Amino acid sequence: MNHRFLLILLAIITMVGVSCNTSKVDNDRIAERIDSLLNFNYTDDAPGCAMAILKDDKVVYMGYRGIADVNTKEKINEHTVFNIASITKQFTALAILSLFEQGKLDINDSVAMYFPEFKSDIWKTVKLKHLMSHSSGVPDNRPRVDKDFMLHIVDKQCLEYMVDLDELKFEPGTKYDYKNPTFQVLAEVVKRVSGTDFETFQKENIFNKAGMTNVRYFEPTIEIPHMAHGYINISESDLNSIDSDSEKEKGDLETQYTDKNGRHWMEYDYGEETFFGTKADGGIYTSLDDFIKWEIALSNDKVVAKSTKDLAYTPHIEVSGSKYSSYQNRDNTNYGYGWFIDKKPNRETKIYHTGDNGGFQAYAAKYPKSNVCVMMFSNRNDLDRWSTQMEIEQIIIEEGLLSND
């Protein structure tokens, strides 16, 4: 009797095992559903996007829609180069952590150690780790109403605003307050500690280790092959209100474009009243295929050691409860060093960053439990990128690529 029971039990276990082993994710079904979503949002004759999903370091979906340049009508593909805006910050944070790994600095070092020209003692209380986690209390006093400043500002000029700063918004390490200029300070630390310029350090110690070959920091005088331009969607009334006698707006007229659906587009990147000259906070231009290399290199600890990477992925300051917690649904969210860490109920932990600059939008997320990455770069600013990503996340949960816990 016991023998028969054991045989039956073994048969049941075997059947369950076979059932579990033969179930697999239907990549074609995922592609069909995401293609449908992209087709709803994008057309082939307007600014668009490039998107990819990785599972276990392999591409399970890649898609692109639209045009990179309204003048040349060059189609977007995996080689199109986009400004990834604030996703740049993770590269800067890893530069600091690389030097930390090499024993050349400590993330608990004060900013004052590296900037004797900063006059106030407040810098003795601000640590490098605070700069990387947006918890420094350093205000952004850059004159955003000054169009010339916004068009031509570079990292060095941002540092000049720090020299006479004598008051912080709060005690470092106690609150979250997202600020771009702190990453320009970090870039200068990299330069002073390494003895080389920031771009060279990044190429030799970050990009090359990841195998990236189609990545660079923006320079207004250097042509970037296959570069997308950023665009904003403008209304008919805005179009009619443009004063053609204005030299600035004459330039705008040359970059206007109307697609087959009657939507009006205006170029909005370098030269159109926004920050593009700064490097460390949002200056990287790269392509989808190169960013895939970046994610795979991080997954396999090719850029920094796992312990160092885990330090970047560790929550260091709570975003929830700040003025940003309702923005893009950032409840249950913390910031690490260069990444947000999202731990929402009934969802896998997500490590991600977004980017917005002029007409560019970008999003890159990783789900370590399932070893899944999602990335999307766009050269138009009119779509709710966050809602789109939530729809994509729901699709890959429903299709079994992610778990819902």
Domain coordinates in residue numbering, the chain: 30-225+271-398
Q: What is the mean pLDDT of the chain?
A: 85
Average pLDDT score over residue span 94-107: 98
The domain covering 30-225+271-398 belongs, at the CATH homologous superfamily level, to: DD-peptidase/beta-lactamase superfamily (3.40.710.10)
pLDDT(99) > 60: yes
Q: Identify the pLDDT of residue 220.
A: 74
Name residue 55's beta-bridge partners.
Answer: 58, 372
Average pLDDT score over residue span 370-385: 92
How far, in Å, CA of 142 to CA of 311, rounded? 30
Provide the token pair at 67.
């045009």
Q: Identify the pLDDT of residue 13.
A: 39
Pairwise pLDDT comparison (375 vs 277), residue with the higher score: 375
φ/ψ bin of 346: left (φ > 0), alpha (ψ from -120 to 50), beta (otherwise):
left
How far, in Å, CA of 318 to CA of 314, rounded? 11
Lowest mean pLDDT among 126-130, 247-251, 331-335: 247-251
Provide the token pair at 217.
């920091």
pLDDT(15) > 60: no
Lowest mean pLDDT among 119-128, 142-151, 280-289: 142-151
Name residue 61's beta-bridge partners.
Answer: 53
| Nearest residue to 353 (alpha-carbon basis) of 187, 145, 183 | 183
Q: Identify the pLDDT of residue 21.
A: 34
Average pLDDT score over residue span 220-240: 79
> Does the global pTM surpass 0.85?
yes
Tell me the pLDDT tens digit for each residue of 270-283: 766 566 668 899 99
